[in-house]
Structure formats: structure tokens, C-alpha cells
């Protein structure tokens, strides 16, 4: 295992010195915590990418480069092509959940009347509190999508109102773009491409930065090179035993939504692909004596970062995928500028969570049934966030389809993926252990 050596540590420590600005205090705190963690854990291209991402924001401010905030379901390739600096918001609001620092901010929003409601998601809600208390990064521009739920798009509108920054919203179509799909609509692709072009015009107007076709095409080539590595990685996960730990998929997802379209994303996805290929070749499983292969077709329980490692150690069970970590965007043709726009559109439509949670329920059900078959899944576990009423319904229907077609059992139960006070880690483990011991084994 390679750790961050003293020379590299001092370099990053020096780069993080000085005041980053009042609204970047939390951002800098998270950077400092990550840097300290890098000294004790493996230092790999993913960790290096995260450190550089934190440093980019204060550097952009110093150099006068516009910063654009975007959500977890939109990759930043277009922004890199236009030489803007992207900031993925959920690094903060979800990242704080890992160390339970989000809970005071959740409580604050309850007190001021925003979010004390079972349909509001705690993935974005802490950021509203951070803004109101002057502790959240204020970018120059904001982009958000209409998917995967109303809670997300509403929270971003509240943020836009509080911060007074200008925003652009992309409306993601309901229907499919592939003619082979029973829900195909010929207008879907054109609609998405036109919105991307409108976004470019808006960015040019607000930043005075010009869109260059050559830069865009190069960025999309890098995006699709990373997608090729991920496609190979996904295929390798079908190997028994599974060659990679349960949390690896989430790292790949974060790579693409934080750095997709950059050389760093290519380097990081290749790194994970290479390890998976080497382990698969040598018959090495990430979980010794693998006994159970689990599908986790929802997001992680973010407040409990040890849950999946606990599953590996306690039950010799590997989580082959989670809904975000199973990155399903295919590589596309980038030979012309128009093909690049098509790739950008398909990448947004097929993005993790977006591609399964928009449109008819059949999208999700078919996806999950095929996944269980292809990856030799033994059990499906879905700790459902209480605000996700639509996904809860889809999960129940999908679990019945899985049972009828494969005989694989499912465990679905409610919790708050971001707040341990609703359902504790101990309760989570008890439910999962009872399911594995009484139903799966």
C-alpha cells in the first residue's frame, strides 16, 4: 500500500495555507481532514484527484476564473471545455454526513421551517442551512437538473434564491432516446442537445468565456476514454469471486461527477480497472471466502461509512453495486462536434440514478432484474431513504419481479441515508444480519 510521503504531504499542506475566504471555511476544513486521512490510508489517483479538486476553488478565486456549481447527476466535462471551474455541491452536503457534521445543519433548517417534511431529502438540505449561516461556498453560477426528484430541484431553487446567483436549469425528458426502447420518443435527443447548446450560450453570456469546438471535442474524448475503462471494470465485477471491494464503485462514480472530462478521470478509472483486471486474472477476491453477492440498487447509507466493510468482514458478503456506483454510461462516438453533443446528451440521460429514476417504472425494474442475473446476485438490499417515495414504490415492484424471475430475495426498509438519528447503525446491522441469516443463507 502506497501512503502519502512527507514531501508530498508538506506540498499539499503548503498549498492549503492561508485564508480561503469566509464562505470556504467548511470547504477548507474538509480539505484538511482529507489530507490528514491521506497520510494513514492508501494514496492513489482517486485521493489525489479529490485533494486537487478542493484546491481548485480557492485557486480559481485568486485567478478570477468563474466557478460553477452543479449537482451530483451532471458531469462537468462541458465546464472543463470552457475553462470554467466546476464545484459539485454534494461533496459538502453529503460529505458531511460521513462524520455526522451535517446533523446540526439539518436541525437548523427544521427550526427555520425548511425541510421538516417527509418529502424533503437530506442530501441537499444541509447546504441550505450552510448558506443561511454564511458557511457555504458561493459560486459565480449555478446549474441544476429537473431529475431525479422534485426535492433536489426544489432545494437548488431555494439555494439560488438565498445566494442571489444566476442559474440555469436543464429539463431532463421522460422518454427514451433509443429506437429499440418501447418508450422511444424521437424528440428526446434533439430536446437534450438544444438545451446543451442553450447552456453554452448562457455560459458565454455570463462569463465572457468562449466555447471552442476543439476543446469540447477533446474533453468528450477524455470523458469517453474514462467510460471505456469503467465499462471494462463493470464487466470484471461479474467475476466470481468479485475482484474489488464494495466501495470501489462509489469512487468511480465520484470520479466522473467531480472530474469527468479531465485527464485525472482517465487516470483514476484506468487505475481501478487495472487492479480489477489483475485480481480477476489471479483469482483474487476482495472479500476472502466470498459467500454472498449483494445488489444494493439505491444509494449508500452515507452516515455509516463502515457498513459495507462490516458486511464484508461479518458475512463474507460483497456489495457488487449500488445505484450510484454502478456507472452505466457507455462510451460514444466523438468523431464530430455533433457526435460530441449526442454523447453529452446520452451521458446526462443515462447518468447514475437519473437513467433509472426518470421515466416509466419499467426502466428501473428491467435494469435491476438484468443486473441480478448478469452479476450472479444472491440477495438484494435496499435501505430506502424515507423521502424517496417514488423509488420506494419502484423497489417494491422490482423486488417482486426479481423474486418471480430469479428467486433472489430482497430486503427493503426505511431509514434516513444521511441522518443516523432516524434508524441507527446498530438497527441497520441487525436488520441486515437477520435477513442474511434467516432468509439468504
Q: Is 37 inside any structural domain?
A: yes
The whole-number pLDDT of residue 346 equals: 96
The whole-number pLDDT of residue 116 equals: 62
pLDDT exceeds 90 at position 273: yes
Pull the grid cell for residue 333. Answer: 462516438
Q: Is 395 inside any structural domain?
A: yes
Q: Is 1 inside any structural domain?
A: no
Q: What does residue 364 show for φ and ψ, rounded to 5 degrees?
A: -70, -45
pLDDT exceeds 80 at position 390: no
**Pairing mode, strands 410-415 and 379-385:** parallel
364: left (phi over 0), alpha (psi -120 to 50) or beta: alpha
342 is in which domain, residue-wise? 6-440
Cα–Cα distance for residue pair 220/340, rounded to 1 Å = 6
The residue among 399, 358, 354 whose CA lies nearest residue 377 is 399
The whole-number pLDDT of residue 151 equals: 79
DSSP secondary structure string for all residues of 63-131: HT--EEEE-TTS--HHHHHTT-EEEETHHHHTGGGGGTTTHHHHHHHHHTTSS-STTS-TTTHHHHHHH
The whole-number pLDDT of residue 393 equals: 85
Which 8-state DSSP code applies to residue 22?
Answer: G
168: left (phi over 0), alpha (psi -120 to 50) or beta: beta
The whole-number pLDDT of residue 305 equals: 92
pLDDT averaged over the chain? 93
Tens-digit pLDDT profile for residues 38-59: 988 889 999 999 999 999 999 9
Tens-digit pLDDT profile for residues 319-332: 998 999 999 999 99
Tally the domains of the chain: 1
Q: Is 388 inside any structural domain?
A: yes
Q: Is 158 inside any structural domain?
A: yes
Q: What does residue 387 show for φ and ψ, rounded to 5 degrees?
A: -80, -15
Averaged over 374-387, what is the pLDDT?
A: 93
Task: Give the list of residues 6+ apart from residue 378 with CB closer than 8 angstroms, or none.
Answer: 292, 293, 294, 408, 440
Tens-digit pLDDT profile for residues 49-102: 999 999 999 999 999 999 999 999 999 999 999 999 999 999 999 999 999 999
For the stretch 8-19, what's the b/e string if a residue is b when 16 or more beta carbons lie within 10 angstroms of its beta carbon? ebeebeebbeee
pLDDT exceeds 90 at position 118: no
- Cα 39 to Cα 7, 141, 184, 275: the distances in Å are 11, 34, 50, 21
By percentage, how much of the chain surpasses pLDDT 90? 79
- Cα 78 to Cα 48, 74, 84, 276: the distances in Å are 22, 10, 9, 29
The whole-number pLDDT of residue 120 equals: 82
Cα–Cα distance for residue pair 181/244, rounded to 1 Å = 32
Q: Is 277 inside any structural domain?
A: yes
Cα–Cα distance for residue pair 278/275, rounded to 1 Å = 5
pLDDT exceeds 70 at position 297: yes
Cα–Cα distance for residue pair 69/86, rounded to 1 Å = 6
Which 8-state DSSP code applies to residue 23?
Answer: G
Tens-digit pLDDT profile for residues 302-358: 999 999 999 999 999 999 989 999 999 999 999 999 999 999 999 999 998 888 888
Q: Is 171 inside any structural domain?
A: yes
Averaged over 420-436, what is the pLDDT?
A: 96
The whole-number pLDDT of residue 1 equals: 64
Task: Give the list of residues 6+ apart from residue 407 with CB closer than 8 angstroms, or none.
Answer: none
Q: How many CB atoms lie within 10 A of CB 92?
A: 23
Cα–Cα distance for residue pair 111/123, rounded to 1 Å = 18
The residue among 94, 97, 151, 104 whose CA lies nearest residue 132 is 104
Q: Considering the entire predicted model, what is its pTM?
A: 0.95
Longest dimension (CA), the chain: 62
C-alpha angle 384-386-390 in degrees, rounded to nearest 5 = 75
β-partners of residue 145 are: 170
Q: Is 179 inside any structural domain?
A: yes
- Cell 442571489 locates to 164
Amino acid at each position: 500500500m502506497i501512503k502519502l510521503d512527507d514531501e508530498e504531504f508538506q506540498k499539499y499542506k503548503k498549498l492549503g495555507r492561508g485564508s480561503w475566504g469566509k464562505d470556504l471555511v467548511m470547504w477548507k476544513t474538509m480539505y484538511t481532514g482529507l489530507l490528514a486521512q491521506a497520510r494513514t490510508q492508501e494514496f492513489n489517483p482517486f485521493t489525489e484527484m479529490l485533494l486537487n479538486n478542493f484546491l481548485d476553488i480557492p485557486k480559481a478565486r485568486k485567478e478570477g476564473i468563474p466557478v460553477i456549481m452543479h449537482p451530483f447527476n451532471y458531469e462537468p466535462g462541458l465546464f472543463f471545455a470552457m475553462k470554467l471551474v466546476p464545484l459539485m455541491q454534494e461533496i459538502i452536503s453529503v460529505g458531511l454526513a460521513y462524520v455526522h457534521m451535517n446533523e446540526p445543519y439539518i436541525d437548523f433548517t427544521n427550526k427555520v421551517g425548511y425541510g421538516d417534511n417527509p418529502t424533503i431529502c437530506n442530501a441537499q438540505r444541509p447546504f441550505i442551512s450552510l448558506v443561511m449561516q454564511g458557511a457555504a461556498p458561493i459560486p459565480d453560477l449555478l446549474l441544476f437538473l429537473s431529475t431525479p426528484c422534485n426535492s433536489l430541484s426544489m432545494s437548488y431553487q431555494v439555494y439560488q434564491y438565498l445566494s442571489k446567483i444566476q442559474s440555469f436549469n436543464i429539463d431532463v425528458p421522460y422518454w427514451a432516446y433509443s429506437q429499440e426502447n418501447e418508450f422511444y420518443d424521437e424528440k428526446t435527443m434533439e430536446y437534450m442537445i438544444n438545451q446543451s447548446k442553450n447552456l453554452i450560450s448562457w455560459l458565454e453570456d455570463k462569463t465572457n468565456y468562449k466555447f471552442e469546438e476543439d476543446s469540447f471535442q477533446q474533453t468528450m474524448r477524455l470523458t469517453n476514454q474514462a467510460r471505456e475503462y469503467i465499462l471494462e471494470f463493470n464487466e470484471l465485477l461479474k467475476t466470481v469471486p468479485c475482484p474489488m471491494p464494495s466501495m470501489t464503485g462509489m469512487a468511480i462514480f465520484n470520479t466522473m461527477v467531480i472530474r469527468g472530462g479531465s485527464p485525472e478521470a482517465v487516470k483514476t478509472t484506468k487505475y481501478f480497472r487495472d487492479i480489477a483486471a489483475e485480481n480477476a486474472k489471479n483469482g483474487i477476491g476482495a472479500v476472502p471466502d466470498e459467500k454472498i453477492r449483494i445488489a444494493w440498487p439505491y444509494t449508500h447509507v452515507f452516515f455509516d461509512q463502515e457498513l459495507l466493510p462490516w458486511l464484508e468482514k461479518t458475512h463474507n458478503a460483497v456489495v457488487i453495486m449500488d445505484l450510484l456506483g454502478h456507472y452505466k454510461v457507455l462510451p460514444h462516438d466523438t468523431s464530430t462536434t455533433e457526435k460530441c453533443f449526442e454523447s453529452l446528451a446520452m451521458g446526462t440521460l443515462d447518468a447514475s440514478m437519473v437513467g433509472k429514476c426518470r421515466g416509466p417504472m419499467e426502466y428501473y425494474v428491467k435494469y435491476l432484474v438484468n443486473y441480478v442475473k448478469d452479476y450472479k446476485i444472491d440477495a438484494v438490499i435496499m435501505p430506502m431513504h424515507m423521502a424517496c417515495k417514488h423509488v420506494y414504490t419502484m423497489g417494491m415492484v422490482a423486488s417482486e419481479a426479481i423474486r418471480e424471475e430469479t428467486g433472489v430475495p430482497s430486503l427493503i426498509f426505511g431509514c434516513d441515508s444521511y441522518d443516523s438519528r432516524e434508524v441507527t447503525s446498530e438497527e441497520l446491522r441487525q436488520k441486515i444480519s437477520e435477513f442474511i441469516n434467516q432468509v439468504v443463507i
